[in-house]
Amino acid sequence: MKKNISLFRQLFDVYCREFRLVVHDQGIILFFLFLPLAYPVIYSLIYNPEVVRDVRMVVVDHDRTSRSRELVRNIDATQNAWVIGYAAEMGEARRAMDSHKCYAIMEIPEGFGQKIGRGEQANAVIYVESSLLLRYRGLLMGSNAVAQAMGAEIRSEKIDLVAPLASTITDGNLMDIDNVAMGNIESGFDSFIMPGVLILILHQCIVLAVGMAGGAKRERPELIGYNGVNAMPSVAMTMLGQMLCYITILIVPVFFLIHYVPLIFAFPMAGSVWQIFTFLVPMVLACMGLGFCVQGIVWERESVFVIWVVTSVMFLFLSGLTWPRYAMPPVWMAISDCIPATWGLEGFIRMNTNGASLSQVSGDYLHLWILAGVYLTLGYCVQRWVVRPSLNKGYDSYGFVRVREI
């Protein structure tokens, strides 16, 4: 009983000391609170609205027939394009695009209507400025939809000329396709990328905050109250107390990330928030273990920002969010497997976007527990043989903090 009380007291002391360190360090508070609370809102506002609508377009019509005017009216009627006017020739249209008065040019060649009347294939060319791929994607989808609709209408007219009343049997569209994007009904960029970015933000804020705490202990040892001469809690007890402190601080940011951000910005929310929270527990533990490993190389608090710059973009690309993991070379695939955010991102998107249950993402869940065990073990080794000796060197034989000579 006395041993259990002593262990609990050591755990509580470590918890209080770590909490005091976090509260008095603005950098750690920045990563624990500002990063997960502010970044998702900022990113989501940047990518709203979901899709690019009414892209300004200039038309160069060399045909000047009813068919060419019909094509222009149909494209202008879509939500993707906005025909702001006609140009006499391509030079004038290009000058309008160079001055950013428009972002697309549609050129209708001479004889467009005659080819349609003869039953031949008629082509119209659309030039789109590629500075923003969302414009290109929107105009491509809109123009394809208009071309298919006009083609079906023309085919129906031809069939009706050959066999009257045949249009009552078919409208010319032999295979009607109704495309519904599961989990992203609007096919918006925000709903596509932000659920994955939320997990990457959570991953980075935990790793960087725990790593910065290691540098803060070396720079400000008076806040942690550890004495290298007197008896100190064991490394395992110290890590457990620190993890409990971090979990206490992270409860509100985690729920804000996985529930309230999707709720505010109308992202897909098909999964159970409690199952998602259960799924993310091993990822949080793995990130803390990775943060304990990072403490072995962070001798100053500012060193964490270098790690942030180096790893943020790399983790984004290796996560499979922007490029599929199965298309990666084996080396990069292996590195990707070692990142907790990779498995957390895949499972979170399946659960939150497509409504998968915890059992349906059991493979990702198992990988996260394996990574949690590996990184916590490595973190224990770093804390025992790297961090703890470096902290003890900050005290002299009487327990007073040493002053470094400059």
* CA 352/CA 254 separation, integer angstroms: 14
C-alpha 72 chain-centroid distance? 37
31 pLDDT more than 80: yes
168 pLDDT more than 70: no
- Which amino acid, one-letter code, is at 124? A
User: Highest-confidence range of 28-32, 142-146, 191-195, by mean pLDDT?
Assistant: 28-32
Beta bridge partners of 59: 86, 106
Enter the tokens of residue 210: 């725990």
Q: Reduced to 3 states, what is the DSSP secondary structure of residue 124?
A: coil
142 pLDDT more than 90: no
228 pLDDT more than 60: no
C-alpha 139 chain-centroid distance? 25
- Model confidence band, residue 401 (pLDDT cutoffs 50, 70, 90): very low
Question: 130-139, 314-323, 390-399: lowest mean pLDDT where?
Answer: 390-399
Q: Could you read off the pLDDT of 99-139 as tens digits, one per residue?
A: 989 999 999 999 998 888 887 888 899 998 877 777 888 88
Comparison of pLDDT for 149 and 91, the residue scoring more: 91
Identify the pLDDT of residue 230: 46
Comparison of pLDDT for 337 and 129, the residue scoring more: 337
- Model confidence band, residue 375 (pLDDT cutoffs 50, 70, 90): very high
| pLDDT-above-70 percentage for the chain | 85
24 pLDDT more than 80: yes
- Model confidence band, residue 186 (pLDDT cutoffs 50, 70, 90): low
Identify the pLDDT of residue 387: 86
Identify the pLDDT of residue 221: 66
3-class secondary structure per residue, 210-233: HHHHHHHHHHCHHHHCCCCCCCCC
Are the C-beta atoms of 162 and 235 separated by less than 8 Å? no
* CA 104/CA 82 separation, integer angstroms: 10
Q: Could you read off the pLDDT of 278-313 as tens digits, one per residue?
A: 999 999 999 999 999 999 888 888 888 888 878 888
H or E stretch covering 258: none
User: Phi and psi (nearest 5°) for 313?
Assistant: -70, -40
Residues 6+ apart with CB under 8 A from 172: 151, 152, 153, 154, 155, 156, 157, 159
Q: Reduced to 3 states, what is the DSSP secondary structure of residue 97?
A: helix
Which of 404, 387, 12, 23 minimizes the C-alpha distance to 228? 387
